[in-house]
A and B are shown apart, each in its own frame.
Chain A
Amino acid sequence: MSQFHTQGPVPLESPAYVERAFEQGVLGELLNQQWVLLLGPHKHGKTTGITRIKNHLQEEGFEVITLDLQTLPPCNSYVELLTWIGTHTARGLGIKDINTPIGDTAKDLVGWLEAIVPPNDTPLVIIIDEAAKIPNDEFRNAFYGQIRGISTARGDADANSILRRLRFLFAGTFRPESLVHPDNSPFNVCKRIDTEDLSLEQARELVVKVLGHEEVLADEGIDQQIVTAYNLVGGQPYLLQELFAQTLKADILDREAVFARTVDYIKYHDMHISSLLSRVITDQAVSRIGARLATEGELPMLPGDSDYKHICVLGLAKREGPRLKFRNELYAQIAQSSAQLRPGEAIPDPGALIVALPNEAFDFMKNPQLKEFAISAQRGAVKAFNTGSYRLSLVGFGSSLEALLIDWLTSIPPTELQAAKVKTQGLNFTRYENANDANTWTLVNLMKVSRQVQTPLRAVNPPDPLRDFRNMVHPGKAIKTGLNEEQLKPEAIASSGFFNMVLRDVEAAVTP
């Protein structure tokens, strides 16, 4: 019963595995000498599938190495990045001593591969997992540009050239069209394959494999539980395993209650949901589609539109013919009750979920200390909310907002800041504030001046209630409102939405 697998890739020997169609697709393409781009949501079986694909290829006689870019350390130069790639490639091939390339060759991926890979005829498959995890734009473009160059050059390369032996599998959860400059993206020459959900039959197969005998399906209670779980989370493999792991071991009389408790846990405490929602929320275009989806239930697909595709890659939605729908009922419920996804809208579910934004959402901030402050304050606000401490949650969002505005206003040219100040009405600095140093300003002044800064797209307009809510940290002010902790929940929900709006607009203002 405990063999359902919910942590990391499913090991080769584990029974908690059913073969997925995407694995056959990827394998077929690689065997057919094609390059593959494998996209799919987190915890959707990519790495589990890759492990099996790698195993099969090795059995067929291929050399295969996996480069997991999630483990890539910060690199100060492109050569450093290639050195890491080269070292890990050599390690994957079991080579201890390599002739480190120098000069131009050290800046060239092919140069590294020629220095490392033994000269024979065996095809080498390089699996680049978490392919988006090269944070530096310049290095990322150079790296993938050089891989694209391999694709162009391999047709005319000498018979014994390394270029003709290479096949790539890129995997991850990212936007292929914007991860790399579209003109030199290797993804354009890849066969794109998207991971798919499990079918109900596969869900049953999974349970039979883990429980060890087919008779379990004759147990109406178990089959009913499989169907109930499937109706809620669809074929999302991680969620299915999580639900099966918790409910199928429970006594038949307790299963319903255990199931409900597990769903609650997944909704409010499982990192899977917060990770998914935060990724949706921090991508403006996708977030907009998600919000519409939450309101309308389903949408027509827009042809050739990367945003519609990306919301499927992230996992929130899926395509059914020309329609875009939520991937499963659980995601629909969560999206519909997310104040962050639908700021300003009346949320029907009072049990709304708030998720912490990923660190990358704050990447545009200039000052590392302020960035760290903004991240931790926002994270704290979310944690407080999810444990029922709504007042502290309001404080957290307010503090994070303050750090965000200070960072922005201190980074714009002094002339622009001066112009904004001039336009600001009712700007009053206390004796503790330095009019020329936004670091010292109160939140009210930061918000007022922010609204007057000239921005290329739309103005940054921090809503006043955010400041009012934050002030509820003061007992005197809180008492005046007559609202107790529980009654502040709507304000906390609204704060999370407002905060996301400001974060979005400041990012738009500072990003060229």
Chain B
Amino acid sequence: MTDLNTNTNSEKSTGLIGDEIEGFRQSVTPDLYDLNDFIGWAEIDEQLEMYKDALPVVQALASGSRTSILTISDALNEGQQVYDLMRTLLAVKSVGFQDGRELPERLPNDTRGRAEVSSVLEDLGIWNILTPNADVPSLLRVRLVSQNAARRKVKIRGRFESRVKTLLTSTLSSLNKNLLLDVRQLSPREAPEQARHLDYVLAIDGIPFAAIATVFQTQGGGRQQRELSLTYPLLQKRLDDIPIGLIVIADGRGTKQVPRWALRTLFDQVSNCMTLRQAEAGSLEDAIVVLAKRRGLRQGINIPLNRIINTALASGTEIKISQLPADSDIGRIALAQYVEEHPALGLTLDPDGSRLSWTRAELVQKVRTLLNSRGLATTNEPDVLEVFQSLLNSSLGSNAVIVENNLRGSILSLKDDPVLPSSMVTVGTTDSIDPRVLRGVARMSLRHAPEAKLATLICPTAPPPSILTSVQGVLSATVAVVDYTDILRIAQHSASPRDSFVSIVVERTDLTKVSPFVVRSVTPKRIFYGREVEQATLLGTLGTNSVALLGGRRIGKTSLIRRAQSWLQDADFRPFFGDCQDVGDWTDFGRMARREWNVDVPELFKPHHLFDIVTQLRDVADRPIVLLLDEIDHLLNWDQSHVENGVREVFFRTCRAISQEGKAQFVFSGERVIAQKLWDPHSPHWNFCRPLPLQQLSRQASERLLLEPLQALQVMVTDPSSFRSALWRFSSGHPQIVQFLGDGLVGMLNSRPREGRSLITHEDLTTVVDCYDYAEHYLETYWGQATDLEKLISVLVAEGIGAPPNVTHILHQEGINFAEDQVVTGLRMLELYGIIERSGPGYSLRANWFCEALSYYGGPEQVKDLFREKLV
């Protein structure tokens, strides 16, 4: 495809154009006057008839002896006609003068007003016309002839246009009949915007290719010259984009007076230029035929074929090579290249390259129909919903159609998605949109899809987003307002309609409601990343032994144990989850087991009833039973302080017995109590369960945890490498902190204008981090339930004091007297929390940003002083 930069009729030689200009000038008809109606006597006679009553009065005035205001005033008493006649003779209409007097359109009714009018007529010199010998009817006839002359231009232009119209009608009829072309004249509404003001726009199969401008200049001058040398060439340039060839039919005395250079510019830069006589002699028909063949591409111009393809696809659903003004091989290449150059468009090229069409052609066509009927009563709302539903490839939920408060909508069932809800209320309306309508949609969403935080409102034309932004934050569901143009764009885009729709959601809604990050709850499967090592350890161990998941708060114990349930099911275990949050003693445990596992155990539950539970949970296939007990610390605490038949920790001992007998295995999740029980070599349980410390995610998993949900939101990171480094420095892979950062980024995007919401940088991440609140969150999350001693030790390790004896020594120096084994336990707990890690004979910092977080509190030295004060 060749894209020539020129937009002139370059193939025409200078000589050829010169001949054309000469022919044009010679055929110009200076005027289109007809001797029969050059002076409109019939109209003049009609007007004279109108003055028949006034003429005698004015004649008498002229013939009278008195020439005073009073006599004029007396004459005016005869009525408006006399007044009009006098004004006609003076060639004035209604007029005001600088001395404050005036000649009004209507003759005043009062004497005073007439006297004033009379004085004005006298001062204007009425007596110079109404002399004693004056023949008033003749004077009037001459005056009316003069008036009639001014209408000749209008008359001629009308005649010119009428002849063009007649000529065009007959030409089109002849073309359609003889050459079997289906050339049709487009209405201004159907015509492309650039050509809408022109006299005629012609199209074949609805695709415009030619436009006709008529110009009749009765006199020459700068304005006329400008019109021909500038206005029409510029217009042709705009029409070339479609492409449409511009045919200028120019005539009249003024045209002939236009300088040669100006005509050269006109001839050079528009498709065709001709006089009316030339047009009538066949030039118009010839020009239309050539342009029709070239699909509007004017002769000598090689504008890119992709413009033609553009136009065809903008108005239709496909284009074939036969529609291109090029041979078939060039046409194929043009279509293929068009696809290459427009990766954002959802297009399908036929295997033989002969046809290019919209991939979602049917939907594109439907949306176009909607767009064309926009604002008209014919708009069919259910069609909009149907189209949108098809676009999102969703199905209709139960009670699919809902109508409330004049709003009609449906509930779309969507596939599992990190951003979009599984059920989404979608409403279509042709009413104007205001915050009240949004509120109505949000209420419908609350009623019919209560868990969805996103609803959609489809309308013909969306209002400016600023009108709706403020209300989004206080709605129960944020409402994405989508108009027909948006839907067309979604249908025409190469990206999945889901992605295109999410981009709109990101631009226009309250992002905090669609944030995929989960900061304060169990992490759902869709954003559960990493933990492959833990998964392997669990599955590898539970065949023969139990596991204790140890970890600090918010590290993801509950999320992991929930996921473990499905891993175990897949591995043919028989897992049972028990939430021990509110299990404070054995009785509570029995109640939980009855409620969650539907087992029959006594009200007064004792640990030995665990055997009964295991027996009842066994299935026919005898799959290995695993009891997943989340947050076990509380129960273990109670267990170790209660005695049954002289024995402490009976519950935990029973679990151990069941495990060792292979009747079932356990996965306990807990923090300090269970960790200390398993770490204490003097405890009877220190070798029961395989401890599985749960710490930060790997670097790769933490990057996925942040970046993949952002990607699902159609938000791109501009500097991925710096961004990833910053993420690792600020979080060290703590999953809750990573999600906190994600949530912070979403909050930041939400505060931006709509056009700035799709990109983030590592500087944005730094901005989220650089505040006291983040430092507080970071420290509180990492420290979790650490004691003041442990917190102080972590600050010492941050300062480089990591060997247990050194830590103990420093503490003693500060007057804080703890034994070294207490310090060792503290260090071990901090290791479990992921704050520090083993390094040589001691420990070093693992949480990279720890010291920077402390700097928000005055730095390690000051924080150390405060803890020291507390401990001393």
Interface of A toward B, CB cutoff 8 Å: 24, 27-28, 31-35, 56, 60-62, 104, 107-108, 121-123, 138, 141-142, 145-146, 148-149, 151-153, 155-156, 164-165, 181-184, 188-191, 300-305, 321-322
Contacts and interface: CB of A to CB of B under 8 A. Distances in A.
Contacts of A60: 439, 442-443, 446, 474-476
Interface stretch (B264-272, B660-668, B837-845, B853-861): B853-861
A62 B476 contact: yes
Given A60-B442, A184-B634, 19 more contacts: A31-B474, A31-B513, A60-B439, A62-B476, A108-B595, A151-B521, A152-B581, A155-B524, A164-B451, A165-B450, A182-B553, A182-B785, A183-B671, A191-B520, A300-B862, A302-B857, A302-B866, A302-B867, A304-B779
B252 to A, nearest CB: 69
Contacts of B450: 121-123, 164-165
Nearest to B522: A155
B815 interface: no
A148 B446 contact: no
9 pairs of A and B residues whose beta carbons are closest in the complex: A145-B582, A184-B581, A302-B866, A303-B779, A148-B581, A61-B446, A61-B443, A146-B582, A121-B450
A74 B448 CA distance: 41
Nearest to A110: B595
Contact of B579 (A27, A104, A152, A322): A152
Query: Which residue, B447, B476, B867, has most C-beta atoms of chain A within 10 A?
Result: B476
Nearest to A35: B520
B734 interface: no
Contact of A300 (B447, B475, B786, B857): B857
A32 B453 contact: yes
Contacts of B594: 104
A262 to B, nearest CB: 36
Contact of A122 (B446, B522, B853): B446
Given A32-B453, A34-B520, A149-B581, A303 B863 contact: yes
B8 interface: no
Contacts of A56: 474
Contacts of B558: 152
A445 B512 CA distance: 67
A181 B512 contact: no
B240 interface: no
A61 B634 CA distance: 39
Given A181-B634, A184-B582, A322-B858, A300 B866 contact: yes
8 contacts: A28-B473, A60-B475, A61-B446, A123-B450, A181-B634, A184-B581, A300-B857, A303-B776
A183 B867 contact: no
A302 B594 CA distance: 45
A225 to B, nearest CB: 34
B562 interface: yes
Given A152-B558, A303-B854, A142 B584 contact: yes
Contact of A301 (B443, B476, B634, B857): B857
B631 interface: yes
Contacts of A165: 450
B493 interface: no
Contact of A322 (B443, B446, B595, B857): B857
A33 B863 CA distance: 37
A466 B779 CA distance: 45
A138 B587 CA distance: 13
Contacts of A35: 520
A56 B867 CA distance: 44
Contacts of B579: 149, 152-153
A145 B779 CA distance: 25
A33 B453 contact: yes
Q: Which of A34, A152, A182 has the most chain B CB within a 10 Å cutoff?
A: A152
Nearest to A105: B595
Nearest to B442: A60
A58 to B, nearest CB: 11
Contacts of B866: 300, 302, 305
Contacts of B780: 303-304
Interface in B781-835: 783, 785-786, 791
B779 A32 contact: no
B475 A184 contact: no
B782 to A, nearest CB: 9
A27 B443 CA distance: 15
Contacts of A151: 521
Specify which of A121, A122, A141, A305 lies most central, judged by the most chain B CB atoms within 10 Å of its CB: A305
A138 B476 CA distance: 36
Contacts of B588: 142
A33 B631 contact: no
B223 interface: no
Interface of B: 439, 442-443, 446-448, 450-451, 453, 473-476, 512-513, 520-522, 524, 553-554, 558, 562, 579, 581-584, 588, 591, 594-595, 603, 630-631, 633-634, 670-671, 772, 775-776, 779-780, 783, 785-786, 791, 853-854, 856-858, 862-863, 866-867, 870
A182 B870 CA distance: 21
Contacts of B513: 31-32
A303 B785 contact: no
B445 to A, nearest CB: 9
Contacts of A33: 451, 453
A151 B581 CA distance: 10
Nearest to B585: A138
Contacts of B591: 104, 107-108
B520 A190 contact: yes
B581 to A, nearest CB: 4
A300 B858 contact: yes
B584 A141 contact: yes
Contacts of A121: 447-448, 450
Nearest to A319: B772
A107 to B, nearest CB: 6
A188 B671 CA distance: 15
Contacts of A107: 591
Contacts of A189: 520-521
A189 B523 CA distance: 12
Contacts of B786: 304
Contacts of A322: 772, 856-858
A104 B602 CA distance: 11
A302 B634 CA distance: 28
A398 to B, nearest CB: 33
A27 B471 CA distance: 13
A290 B776 CA distance: 21
Nearest to B524: A155
A146 B553 CA distance: 19
Given A60-B443, A164-B451, A145 B584 contact: yes
A61 B670 CA distance: 40
Given A34-B520, A302-B870, A304-B783, A138 B791 contact: no
A104 B857 CA distance: 49
Contact of B474 (A27, A62, A301, A321): A27
B474 A302 contact: no
A31, A184, A189: which has the most chain B beta carbons within 10 Å? Answer: A31
Contacts of B671: 183
Contacts of A181: 584, 634
Contact of B582 (A142, A164, A301): A142
A155 B521 contact: yes
A123 B582 contact: no
Given A31-B476, A190-B520, A302-B863, A183 B442 contact: no
Nearest to A121: B450
Nearest to A153: B579
A159 to B, nearest CB: 8
A395 B640 CA distance: 47
A181 B862 CA distance: 30
Contact of B512 (A28, A152, A304): A28
Interface centre among A146, A156, A184 (most CB of B within 10 A): A184
B520 A32 contact: no
A320 B288 CA distance: 80
